[in-house]
Structure 1
Amino acid sequence: MSSDIRPVDGAGDDPLPSNASPAHWQDCTVLVVDDHPAYRMMMSAMLQQLGLGCETCGDGQAALAALDGQPFDLILTDCQMPVMNGYALAREVRRRERESMAEPVPIVALTSNLGPNEVHQCLDAGINAWLIKPLTFGQLRNVLLYWLADGTPLVTDVPRTREEDWPTRARLVQLFGSAQVLDGMLASLVQEVRQDLQALSHAMAHVDADQTAQHLHRLIGSVAFLGGTPLEARGIQLISAVTRDGVALHARALFGLRQDLVRYVEYLKAL
């Protein structure tokens, strides 16, 4: 399967004017889940301004009851809430979808903090994307342009990187001359990559194309230092695509590559 990434509606152009919304959004409804009434009011106002229908809930249990009553096209949920938090809500939504063989609904987390632990919890719960509070109208719109697309794929699926394509310990010892040198190199590299992964998550959450491309460039440089892998080729494509089109149009490919980079770091740590 091809891993090429292609722009939509022309290279580098915003698919719509900054104050416009896709026509099909008038038929879409978003479920907002947040325990702060003021934030629910603000999110509802933003979504209505974008031409989207909206329903709000104060916790995960209330959200599940709302989902029992009607389908939603997307869920925006706070991560930390009483009664049932956003992670538990996402896990239960995904369990129900598997049980009923339903099409997965996109889930976007709203969080005030985004460290490695929060990223791991989001991915483990089946959350598709995240935004850091306080978010801007433009950030919300750009993310929704991706996750509420009209069905036309914006990014082709990327096959998961295979571990057999990664360097073996024997190969790296040969490359660096001794096991002692290799172990010191790997310890330093793993620490550096972890810091860059956290910075990449922050840039992606803020839909910051320049910072996303910059941290991805650093990560791919670290990967290439140990010899070429398919991760490097994917990263180079994404750096070009994000610089050209922005973060939102390539969110799914970015999240997939980030997950594989996390796996790669754990692999190197265990060598």
Structure 2
Amino acid sequence: MKEPTAEMAVLRRTVEQLTDEVLKSKAEEEKLLNEFSAMNNELVNLQRQLAKSNAELKRTKEEAIRANDLKSTFLAVVSHEFRTPMNGILGMIEMLASSKLSPDQRQAIGVIRESASLLLNMINNLLDISKVEAGQMELEIGNVRVQAIMSHVAQLLEPQIYQMGNQLSIETDPGVAEHLEGDSARIMQILLNLLNNANKFTSEGNLVVRTKLVEETKDSQRVRFEVQDSGIGISPEDQDKLFQPYVQAGEGGASQYGGTGLGLWICSSFVKLMQGEIGVVSEEGQGSTFWFEIPFRKASGQADKIEKHENGELTARSELLREHIHSQVILVAEDNRMNRQVVQLQLNHLGFQHIDFAEDGQAAVRAASERSYACILMDHHMPLLNGHDATKAIRQWEVENQQPPVTIISLTGNVSEEDQARGREVGVNDYLTKPVTIENLSEKLVKWLPVPESEPILDEDVIREIMLLDEDGSTGLLESLVEMYTSDTPAKINKLKELVAAGEATKVVEAAHELKSGSVSLGVGRLSKLLSDIEQLARENRLENTQVKLSALQSVYQATCLELERYIHQSRLIPPC
């Protein structure tokens, strides 16, 4: 009986061990289940937190977009609200400066103008920063004349430079092409900022603006611009943060020298936009040299000729328009009384006498439907109908009544590309940004106002007859005649002007007739007409009435030369039948 008992004992122990293992396994399983459940709960919580975070992120993004839109709207409104009184201030300063003033009064006007210009510059800087931050800053690629830009910058800052007792010199590298492709307005703005800073931190010293040709290929040039001063210099620690926004060198920079600390950051943003580099070399007490390098494409060889031709045509239009200005009627749609007064004085200064006014958009539409205007100067922000809506209504009325479209130039304080694009969609022809100067207003009117029919530059029938005199119908004879004509005419025009100035009416008749005969025989129509008018006025002993026509002679002659060159070039490309 002992053996079975021993077996039972072994079996019992085995069962007990198995039971323990089952219980242990079950405990471990429960533990794993609890851990899994805890992990699952944690995952659910994480998913909830993630969903909440995503919702918060989406809400934050939407709020940021709304805030950015509100900022853009705010800046557009602020821009307009600032520019409206600035238009009145600078407009009246311009009118006062053109009147007879005592030296003290002229000095006072100069101080007011400089202060207003500085305020306008700060407004422009704030708007530029908004565009840069929003990624809306765009380049306007066109013809860049480096020498002209540098001269213009020097001319603009000449009063401030003189006031600080500084001497300015300009050094240009002859290797830099006369015509390049780039954004001339941004380059000018960078140079203005840098030279203005150099002048501000220098007293009775020397300023230098220079260009250097850094690199050149067949189609491109990399140009380095430098603005050097002999001023206070900049410490190494300040140099590291100069191109950050709202930062100025030194602890008392803003209080001692003025400014917002935005200029250099804007310069840096513009340079980066043009794929360039910017930097500074400076030592405290030894002055500074700010530099930037820009890659340009070379402009085509026709750029200079095209520019001269366009300038000649605009000058000729200007002179022709001046003769008929008394008959032109302008409508000014502007709700601000001060701005209406400024525009009226500016138009009167240019010679316009027939000016109507509309104080809101509806009145502008009504006036345009009741009277024919040469041009409408349309403010954008007006009651009842804004400028864009008024323009749209006028264009619709013109279509419905089969009337020719009147030129509409928008007067606006909002300089955003989006706003201008919306305006062009509804029919705005062009824009004038407030504050409006007499020069800018004159340029737009010359560009857009209709002028009476004038003689064509060339009488192509006469030129074709000259070409037929060549047996092969080539341009050989024409080119020889043009060469003789262009070699003699400039001196003859100068002689004619001298005779008019001397009051020699009889000799003016002879000189004008001789020039006219040579021009007629070559088919130079418009110049011939001018000379014929001068000859007739001299015969009537009315030399004082020849000034407008005399001032147009040179520009019409330049346009004639370019047109002759174009005609000859085209005739070579298209052989005679």
With normalisation by structure 1, the TM-score equals 0.50
Larger strand share, 1 or 2:
2
Larger helix share, 1 or 2:
2
With normalisation by structure 2, the TM-score equals 0.24
Which one has the largest radius of gyration? 2
Q: Greater relative contact order (Cα 8 A, min sep 6): structure 1 or 2?
A: 1
